[in-house]
Chain A
Amino acid sequence: MFEGLGGKLSAIFDRLTKRGALSESDVGEALREVRVALLEADVALPVVKDFVEKVRVRAVGHEVLKSVTPGQQVIKIVHDALVETLGAEAEPINLRAEPPAIIMMVGLQGSGKTTSSAKLAVWLAKREGKKTLLASLDVRRPAAQEQLRVLGAQAGIATLPIVPGEPPVAIAKRALNTGRLEGYDAVILDTAGRQHIDDALMAEIKEVKAATKPVEILLVADAMTGQDAVTMAKAFHEAVDITGVVLTRVDGDARGGAALSMRAVTGRPIKLMGVGEKLDALEPFHGDRIARRILGMGDVVSLVEKAAETIEREEAEKLAAKLQKGRFDLEDLLSQLRQLKKMGGMSGLLGLLPGVAKVKKQLAGAQIDESVLTRQEAIILSMTKKERVNPDVIQASRKRRIAAGSGTEVSDVNRLLKQFMEMQRVMKQAKKMGAKFGGQMPTPEQMQRLQGQQMPKLPPGFPRGFKF
């Protein structure tokens, strides 16, 4: 049923071939499909409505990238808004309390509380080196306490000894005492679930909360949950003020819209997600992954991302072709400067490149002034076309004019030109070396290896990068 959406969207947008900014009608048509996609992913209706409006405002007037359709562009905007809403970064489990930190797990029956409790204990023990105690307060489901005991034994995590007939609050107090006396860092309380929200359940978890003062109260919820996720999450949140959500069965093929609903109605982060049956199958929440699933259009999102990359690559290839012919002029330098600025400046760009650790250190020491980029751009813009293509014609009077036009000094113009000459020289070297690597531009790794021998100041292999 849902598989058809991609096709439906492209059918709608095939006829929209115009470029430029997204119009209100482009956005409107795309959002109608997105709305259905979200509903089919079980995002609750009120949440869908709010969300779609938010996206509408953001999308109208947005530029459409070359080689993607307006519809695809809208989907990318929707995706980014989803990630933003869900939280791009996982929030850590809070253990800031006088030990033992109490973590209480709440949720409906069958949501995966017991398994998640054990997984969280393993997580805290293995990843954070915390001594953790597990205690089951579920005295209703047959063998629930036994289940937690077995899981604890399997994972080498201590469980509170079972005392038959002991009521939940008494178990919780005993767990807290044991935790204190035996020096545990954390105590995880696995509470009983109910088939639905009822007063008895809420009274019980409120009592447990009052008796143990948990630092984390995690709502365990199934990624398959339907529209009712909103009601459920709201009820738990109102009763005990949850601190976060554990989303379970993310390894299934449910689209997981409940995650968005719960996040929206409680305002609490989704902290962890269960991704398998094994006890180590717990991961920090990835907003990006869930966003793609909710939308069910991960391929479109990747496509737009790739399109954005391609544009940059096309420019880079154009440049490489020019280099091959030994022609690199100030126009090219200008386009490089602009691309560099767009990508977050020199330091931002360096962060993206593999194999340039050494150069990076040197540059960090050199304290790059990013405003240099803007100044250099202004200088080139003050040149005539002729000057840009053939910098040799730039003599003293032209330099004075350029400096005046760009609000800089003649010395700045000289510096730029000197750097440009230097670049040209290095580029030619790169071309020669390129022949060694089968006519290709060498990779940064190859460059690093070669640096000792030829030592150009600029690592010429910098794809899209340059030295100024």
Chain B
Amino acid sequence: MNWFSRLKSGLAKSSAKLGDGIVGIFKGGRKLDSASIGDLEELLIQADLGPATAAKLAAALQKRRFEREVSGDEVRTALAEEIAAILAPAAKPLALDAAKKPHVVLVVGVNGSGKTTTIGKLAQQLRGDGRRVTLAAGDTFRAAAIDQLKIWGERTGCPVVAKQPGADAAGLTFEALEQAKARGDDALLIDTAGRLQNKTELMAELTKIVRVLKKLDASAPHTVLLVLDANIGQNAHAQVEVFKSVAGVTGLAVTKLDGTAKGGVVVALAERFGLPVHAIGVGEGADDLRPFDPQEFARTLVGLG
């Protein structure tokens, strides 16, 4: 199965919901009047696009002034175009800066969003491209997080810099960068403990990690990747906002994008923050971390594919 069919089968159920919903509303042709637009808006909300973005998209469709009755497919196509337009600026795959040895990627996010797994998958891809990668087990809090990363290190053939549980994450990060620098690695992927964005002390720890990295390389971290679980709803806004202001998030990775009614929040985030989506996770396999394609994403979301 190639990645796209994987994404499609992953998104299939949510597409079915949104896509079938649209087909249902416009069955046998219907005018885009305030009633049908209202129905459409509700479908978009059910796909986690949020009330604001849903209203905006619905309004954009209304502006198209379909003077006659439209079919579900026409609406889906138009909607996909509008969504893709919002998402277009976000399509920037994670590109390593070859001048940086290493290119430092700091991975942050709330608990359970899939940081460690994303790092494992990212390491796998970079290794596949022949890059030299070091992993830093900066999640010194969650039980067995270090073991989990070490297993990924073994699978991908990457050295893992780790200390005992409870060790100072900033200190460990510093050592990891020292070692990766000495080896002249292409990339250093730093795992961090999951933290809820409203916990001030834990967020301050992230600031400290960034500060310590800058002591060795003033331009580091070169990428700050916020990992978002596609299951979450409107709290994603708060997560992006706070992690961006505290840790200087430069891009997003959206994980678990293979279930039902998921990923809609990405559209709202792209509209509000304009941050690139560097990668999406579409499955549990190591090769299921993929670049983000707005066209396909939008078409799949509305069930066109």
Contact = CB atoms under 8 A, between A and B. Distances in A.
Contacts of A146: 143-144, 147
B50 interface: yes
Contact of A110 (B198, B229, B258): B229
B258 A195 contact: yes
B173 to A, nearest CB: 20
Contact of A253 (B141, B151, B235): B235
Given A39-B51, A112-B111, A141-B148, A258 B233 contact: yes
Interface centre among A41, A140, A224, A249 (most CB of B within 10 A): A224
A143 B148 contact: yes
A45 B45 contact: yes
A222 B144 contact: no
B110 A224 contact: yes
A121 to B, nearest CB: 13
B74 to A, nearest CB: 24
Interface stretch (B29-37, B121-129, B260-268, B296-304): B260-268
B60 interface: no
A195 B255 CA distance: 9
Contacts of A140: 284
Contact of B110 (A141, A143, A249): A249
A39 B265 CA distance: 13
Interface string B8-24: 00100110000000000
B235 A36 contact: no
Contact of B48 (A147, A151, A227, A277): A227
Interface in A199-248: 222, 224-229, 231-232
Nearest to A274: B111
B42 A40 contact: no
A292 B53 CA distance: 25
A258 B233 CA distance: 9
A296 to B, nearest CB: 11
A307 to B, nearest CB: 30
Interface string B39-51: 0001001111011
A195 B237 CA distance: 22
Interface string B236-264: 11100000000000000001101111101
B261 A227 contact: yes
Interface string A144-159: 1011111100100000
B260 A151 contact: no
Contacts of B218: none
Contacts of A1: 52, 237
A394 interface: no
A228 B232 CA distance: 8
Interface in A227-283: 227-229, 231-232, 249, 251-255, 257-258, 277
A133 interface: no
Interface centre among B10, B42, B51, B198 (most CB of A within 10 A): B51
Interface centre among A112, A140, A258, A277 (most CB of B within 10 A): A277
A252 B197 contact: yes
B51 A36 contact: yes
B235 A255 contact: yes
Given A39-B45, A142-B147, A249 B196 contact: yes
Interface in A75-103: none
A277 B265 CA distance: 26
A196 B196 contact: no
Interface string B135-163: 00000011111011001100000000000
B196 A252 contact: yes
A142 B198 contact: no
Contacts of B165: 150
Interface in B171-187: none
B35 to A, nearest CB: 15
A195 B235 contact: no
Contacts of A26: none
A41 B52 CA distance: 13
A154 B142 CA distance: 12
A226 B48 contact: yes
A349 interface: no
B114 A110 contact: yes
A45 B45 CA distance: 8
Interface centre among B47, B142, B145, B232 (most CB of A within 10 A): B232
Contacts of B46: 44-45, 227
B112 interface: yes
A197 interface: yes
A226 B147 contact: no
A424 interface: no
Nearest to B148: A143
B283 interface: yes
Contact of A196 (B48, B151, B256): B256
B127 to A, nearest CB: 17
B113 interface: yes
A42 interface: yes
A111 interface: yes
A148 to B, nearest CB: 8
B113 A110 contact: yes
B175 to A, nearest CB: 22
A143 B146 CA distance: 9
Nearest to B283: A195
B234 interface: yes
A336 interface: no
B235 A142 contact: no
Given A224-B232, A227-B264, 16 more contacts: A39-B51, A45-B42, A108-B259, A110-B114, A144-B144, A147-B143, A147-B145, A195-B259, A196-B10, A226-B265, A227-B46, A228-B48, A228-B231, A254-B232, A255-B234, A257-B233
5 contacts: A110-B231, A110-B256, A196-B262, A226-B232, A228-B231
